[in-house]
Structure 1
Amino acid sequence: MADLFSDDPLQAPAANAPREDAPLADRLRPRDLGEVIGQDHLTGAEGAIGRMVAAGKLSSMILWGPPGTGKTTIARLLADAVGMRFESVSAVFSGVADLKKAFAAADKAAQAGQRTLLFVDEIHRFNRAQQDGFLPFVERGTVTLVGATTENPSFALNAALLSRAQVLILQRLDHAALSELLDRAEGLEGPLPLTEDAHDALVASADGDGRFLLNQAETLYNAKIENPLDPAALGGFLQRRVAVYDKDREGHYNLISALHKAVRGSDPQAALYYLARMLTAGEEPRFLSRRLVRMAVEDIGLADPQALVQCMAAKDAYEFLGSPEGELALVQACLYLASAPKSNAAYKAMKSSFRSAKETGSLMPPQNILNAPTKLMKEIGYGKGYSYDHDADEGFSGDNYWPEEMEPQTYYTPVDRGFEREVNKRLDYWDKLRRERGAG
């Protein structure tokens, strides 16, 4: 990869070269920002990091991205590039005492004219109070904070801390970036014992994680394999990579959002893909069955009343069969929803009627439709003049059922799709009768 910068600050060598027996990932760790792979949108001349380094001044930042994309490496190289002292803590292993020690050392260095870059790995693992502890030191410039996180900062970090730091998003390494990383490994260690197809399969298995890819390559080198492996043999030799998916974290919500929107968008192929992503990653099938029910009533409703029936049947089938057989029922329900006619008329009707109910408070229904179980209630007019619809022509009285202080409202407007087309015809017919009988 060609160097992205030619200025001297970016080409400053890393302070500590790795030992010859260090892991492959350490030996291939970039020595300057120009060697960082796959993050040109940040480290390039027009990127946020490139501009800060060119100016020789860093602002506090949060590096947010998947595992193995270079967050720790970039933080170390940033300190070297602008001549700052590097201090590192991990939220997994460090506590309040470690933070106090780091801040004290930064204070002492500042008195000697040395600026400190404080790198906090897994910063989202610090609780809210610990995160607040960074604020005074960041505000007075004792440290320039560089936090690394795999979690969405909007959920994982305090708003006060986010307001003082720029969030920079690292991208998962694409096929080209991972291939380049593997080329560097082969340039250092020699060709991997793989066929061309197996080479591509190895890159694909990394799922955007450069560190994982290099660890797999090192395993192959250490095995001293004589004959090149094809994709099938490679799959049997190396462990299968499990997709990054935390069931209570952002990946969970991203995929369920994608599934819901693919169903709503009537794309059964994409919907099935996201359903498969979640199931193969270990998502709880009962959670998915609940979400499918939600989709049936929110996005299909009476356009196809069978959608809800299908989803409830799929839930029962899964409970009866268990996994993995029962997952086929969830697949069937998902495909039914995605291919069904869509309507959110019932969902919109619910929202508008709930809003109206809150706004109108305790208005009484008209007396003629009130129940009158006691003599007193009958005497004061409850139920008087009620028209029993089954006794009326066509089973429809056309009575007014709204409170006297309230004009009739329209909450539910069926779409002209699926079964709701028929519902629309019924409503139009009753409106016609109501107008005729009202006029009479």
Structure 2
Amino acid sequence: MADLFDIGDEPSGPAPRPLADRLRPRTLAEVIGQDQLLGPDGPLRVMLDAGSLGSIVFWGPPGVGKTTIARLLAHETDLEFVQISAIFSGVADLKRVFETAKQRRRAGQGTLLFVDEIHRFNKAQQDSFLPHMEDGTILLVGATTENPSFELNAALLSRAQVMVLTRLGEDDLGDLVTRAEEELGRALPLEGDARRALLEMADGDGRALLNLIEQIAAWKIDAPLDQKALSQRLMRRAAQYDKTGDAHYNLISALHKSVRGSDPDAALYWFARMLEAGEDPRYLARRLTRMAVEDICLADPQAQSVCLDAWQSYERLGSPEGDLALANAVIYLALAPKSNAAYAAYKAARRAAKKTGSEPPPKHILNAPTKLMEDEGYGAGYAYDHDQDDAFSGQNYFPDTMERPEFYRPVERGFERDLKKRLDYFGKLRRERGG
């Protein structure tokens, strides 16, 4: 019966090392990409050359070299490299790390503590680093995929320099493929279009690219694959997206600004990117409606209705059919005349309301339902606008102590061009009638 569970002979030697491990850079000069940090004038290179390396927080997407660079920094500065993950470490783990670092320091050896996913630590845990950073027990190098401004304590950020790592470009990924082929001792069995597709599948992630290369290298095929054949064998790496993270806010910002900039092609691209990443179309419908009332306003009063109709169509149809209704709204908003005059007027009115507090309306526009109120002058001198030949009295409707402001300033675009004419006309009548 034991034979039923036999999975083969024990391996005669050590398991083969993953390609990513075999290609791990041995010096900072071998790191692919991140020239903005590691180039001759990059801040990291300058700190190393000056012998003044301080605590750092690396902020960037996965697979761009945060861990590798931290390890190489320890090597170049003769510091002991200690790595922990905020996902798997607690208070007890931190205490052990700090105590060991103190002992190491008393023996004359410094410690570079690399904390992966440092944003996962809570405020108290982040604060625990501070005294050990200040007395030199540790040199902290944190890594995060989230915006440090939102995720890390101000006290920690004030003691560390944030350095931004960027996703690897096509040339960087191409260099990584070349190195992998040299390590493997053969070229990948891919035609030109398939090689380009491979780089796209990695989506700027070097580690993901090496994993894909390792899969391809294991295939036994007779002829190079074209793009179609490669796509059938490999799955594209999922786009980096978190509905509550930086990518979410970055992409909706890109969509909003593309609409504001009257670029329907760019707007559709970011809209599609968010859908492909799994964004809730209802969230997009709400944001599109906001764009209509913030950036188009009364330059095209129909824009808001278009968004609400598209939203309702999505609710009735669902995805994917309803997505097209939202796409129609995206195009309509991008090509609509733009004005934020109503939005600016609203904000100005809110500021004025907050400033003037409890100032009462002028008495002539107050109702007088009782004799006492009538005796107090409520409603006295009110001019009923419909009694005027042009249905306009020109009276003052602001508090008596308040100088007349100008909140709404329509633009010479779209429907607001007509509203501006009306506003100018009423302003002229108001001046003539002393309102």
Rounded Cα–Cα distance in structure 2 between residues aligned with 1:408 and 1:63: 53
Q: Within 5 A, what are the aligned runs for 1:39-438?
A: 39-189=34-184, 190-438=186-434
Q: Output the amino acid matched with 1:263.
A: V
Q: Output the amino acid matched with 1:347.
A: Y
Displacement of 1:164: 0.5
1:13 corresponds to which residue? Answer: none
Aligned residues: 421
Q: Output the amino acid matched with 2:30.
A: E
Displacement of 1:52: 2.8
- CA contact under 8 A between 2:27 and 2:72: conserved in structure 1? yes
- More displaced 10-residue stretch of structure 1: 63-72 or 184-193: 184-193
Rounded Cα–Cα distance in structure 2 between residues aligned with 1:410 and 1:389: 21
Q: Output the amino acid matched with 1:102.
A: V
Rounded Cα–Cα distance in structure 1 between residues aligned with 2:42 and 2:410: 50
Q: Output the amino acid matched with 2:404.
A: P
- CA contact under 8 A between 2:367 and 2:379: conserved in structure 1? yes
Rounded Cα–Cα distance in structure 2 between residues aligned with 1:244 and 1:298: 29
Matched, 1:21 2:22: no
TM-score if structure 2 supplies the norm length? 0.94
Rounded Cα–Cα distance in structure 2 between residues aligned with 1:437 and 1:64: 63
5+ residue gaps, structure 2, are 1-13
Q: Output the amino acid matched with 1:206.
A: A
Displacement of 1:373: 3.0
Rounded Cα–Cα distance in structure 1 between residues aligned with 2:28 and 2:202: 23
Q: Output the amino acid matched with 1:422.
A: D
Q: Output the amino acid matched with 1:435.
A: R
Q: Output the amino acid matched with 2:169.
A: D
- CA contact under 8 A between 2:33 and 2:172: conserved in structure 1? yes
Q: Output the amino acid matched with 1:346.
A: A
Displacement of 1:54: 2.7
- More displaced 10-residue stretch of structure 1: 218-227 or 187-196: 218-227
Q: Output the amino acid matched with 1:295.
A: M
| Secondary structure of 2:320 counterpart | coil
Aligned CA RMSD, in angstroms, stands at 1.4
2:7 corresponds to which residue? Answer: none
Q: Output the amino acid matched with 1:120.
A: V
Displacement of 1:381: 2.7
1:6 corresponds to which residue? Answer: none
- CA contact under 8 A between 1:20 and 1:27: conserved in structure 2? no
Q: Output the amino acid matched with 1:398.
A: G
Q: Output the amino acid matched with 1:184.
A: R
Displacement of 1:265: 1.1
C-alpha distance after superposition, 1:73-103 (max 9, x if no partner): 1111111112111111111111111111111
Q: Output the amino acid matched with 1:143.
A: I
Q: Output the amino acid matched with 1:306.
A: Q
- CA contact under 8 A between 1:89 and 1:121: conserved in structure 2? yes
Rounded Cα–Cα distance in structure 2 between residues aligned with 1:375 and 1:312: 48
- CA contact under 8 A between 1:64 and 1:168: conserved in structure 2? yes
Question: Quick one: structure 1 residues 430 and 238, their matched pair in 2 at CA, closer, same or farther if it must change by over 3 Å?
Answer: same
2:11 corresponds to which residue? Answer: none
Q: Output the amino acid matched with 2:269.
A: Y
Displacement of 1:20: 6.7
Moved over 4 A (4+): none
Rounded Cα–Cα distance in structure 2 between residues aligned with 1:433 and 1:47: 64
- More displaced 10-residue stretch of structure 1: 404-413 or 373-382: 373-382
Rounded Cα–Cα distance in structure 1 between residues aligned with 2:221 and 2:372: 96
- More displaced 10-residue stretch of structure 1: 35-44 or 218-227: 218-227
Q: Output the amino acid matched with 2:63.
A: G
Question: Quick one: structure 1 residues 370 and 85, their matched pair in 2 at CA, closer, same or farther if it must change by over 3 Å?
Answer: same
| Secondary structure of 1:422 counterpart | helix
- CA contact under 8 A between 1:262 and 1:338: conserved in structure 2? yes
Rounded Cα–Cα distance in structure 1 between residues aligned with 2:362 and 2:111: 74
Displacement of 1:324: 1.1
Displacement of 1:294: 1.0
| Secondary structure of 2:433 counterpart | helix
| Secondary structure of 1:395 counterpart | coil
Displacement of 1:51: 2.5
Displacement of 1:57: 4.2
- CA contact under 8 A between 2:202 and 2:236: conserved in structure 1? no
Q: Output the amino acid matched with 2:403.
A: E
Rounded Cα–Cα distance in structure 2 between residues aligned with 1:152 and 1:259: 20
- More displaced 10-residue stretch of structure 1: 395-404 or 344-353: 395-404
| Secondary structure of 2:84 counterpart | strand
Rounded Cα–Cα distance in structure 1 between residues aligned with 2:220 and 2:93: 43
Question: Quick one: structure 1 residues 381 and 87, their matched pair in 2 at CA, closer, same or farther if it must change by over 3 Å?
Answer: same
| Secondary structure of 1:88 counterpart | strand
